[in-house]
Structure 1
Amino acid sequence: MSDPALRLLTEEDYLASEELSPVRREYVDGFVYAQVGASLPHGRVASNVLGVLLPAARKQGCWTYAADMKVRVSRLGQLRYYYPDLVMVCEPHDDLRQAESQPCLIVEILSRSTRQVDMTFKAQDYLSLPSLQGYLLVDSEAQAAELYRRLPGGGWTQETVQDALTLPCAHVPLSLAEIYAGIRVGPVDEG
């Protein structure tokens, strides 16, 4: 995230100004953060994962969004709007204008500038969503991915993707080979 604006915005002011903004901006506790553009590997990883998710979502009557759909999170009484790289939603709702609030799967593509926030603050916020079944973190700089999967009792388990996994919510297999098809990234740093 970039530096916050100097003044707090209400949720209403953020949503109204976001419709007119030339750049995507996330809203965290009243502050607005501009989002930077993605690298080529980042965009290709997102496209590869979307290519696997989209047919599965359509078969199930779900929607999959890439990069431009906000997700609304309320944590500890504070509202936050994030732009995940990919979002899958299977719960119907009436208000389709502003943001999704019941995603079942969120995918963030990690880069040098987003890694820390995606793995800490956003992870904590996303995992607080009752509808979420999975949070997939995919590295854009090395062949590596981790999945937070909701357990039947409501807790979470964290899985490192070795070769392939079946995505929750989408119920579709996804392999590292599919994620990184046509992309050159470095080896996983074991140190």
Structure 2
Amino acid sequence: MQTAERLHFSAEDYLAWEATQAEKHEFVAGEVFAMVGARQDHVVVSLNIASALRQRLRGTPCRSYMADMKLKVEAADAFFYPDVMVSCHLDDRKSEQFISNPSLIVEVLSDSTADYDRGGKFVAYRKLNSLKEYLIVDIAARRVECCRRTTSNDWLLHDYVGEVDCELTSLGIQIPMAEIFEDIEAA
């Protein structure tokens, strides 16, 4: 991630400033980072996942959100724009600018963000008590890494590769890998 202009804000000042910006920026501990545009495959996979989630969650209290909805991680003094997330929490339905209680977060890897998505960002996400699963989607490898919180608050990795279903136990649903990677040409 690159810093926008080395701007430093409080969380409240960031929200006010971000509302006036043409581009998206993430916020971590007072620092603001410009978001770069995504490649087509990244957008297609994100949309495939968000669409699959929306379809399977109809009639439940859960909602899926795409990249334009901010996520507040208060314990990390941060705001992020995950590629996809799901919240089943009533307070999140009432919030207009951000959600704070996701059950599921999905990040689709890109060359520039892969290390951060697996490292510092996941460290921040783990501070969310509501988070049950974190999906890391690797388009090049056609792989989904599902990090699932255990009852002892540890994180267990489940790897999905090939023609299998990706199980999201936090939501009680499955998404076939073929659906996640639909319309993506084989490498």
> Taking structure 1 as the reference length, what is the TM-score of the superposition?
0.90
2:5 corresponding residue in structure 1:
5
- Verify the 8 A CA contact 1:88 1:103 in the aligned structure 2: yes
1:14 corresponding residue in structure 2:
14
Q: Give the residue type in structure 1 aligned to 2:180.
A: I
Give SS of 2:54's match.
Answer: helix
| Structure 2: gaps (5+ residues) | none
Equivalent positions of 1:14-163 (< 5 A) are 14-75=14-75, 78-93=76-91, 95-162=94-161, 163=164
Number of aligned pairs? 184
**Higher normalized strand content (fraction of residues):** 2
Q: Which moved more, 1:163-172 or 1:27-36?
A: 163-172
Q: Give the residue type in structure 2 aligned to 1:181.
A: E
Q: Which moved more, 1:2-11 or 1:113-122?
A: 2-11
Identity, % of aligned positions: 34
1:189 corresponding residue in structure 2:
none
> Taking structure 2 as the reference length, what is the TM-score of the superposition?
0.92
| Structure 1: gaps (5+ residues) | 187-191
1:185: Cα distance to partner? 4.2
- Verify the 8 A CA contact 1:54 1:64 in the aligned structure 2: yes
1:4: Cα distance to partner? 4.4
Matches of 2:63 and 2:146 in 1, distance apart? 20
1:141: Cα distance to partner? 2.6
Give CA deviations for 1:9-55 in whole Å, capped at 9, x if unaligned: 11111000111110010001101001011101001101111121002
Residues 1:168 and 2:166 are matched in the alignment: no
Q: Give the residue type in structure 2 aligned to 1:179.
A: I
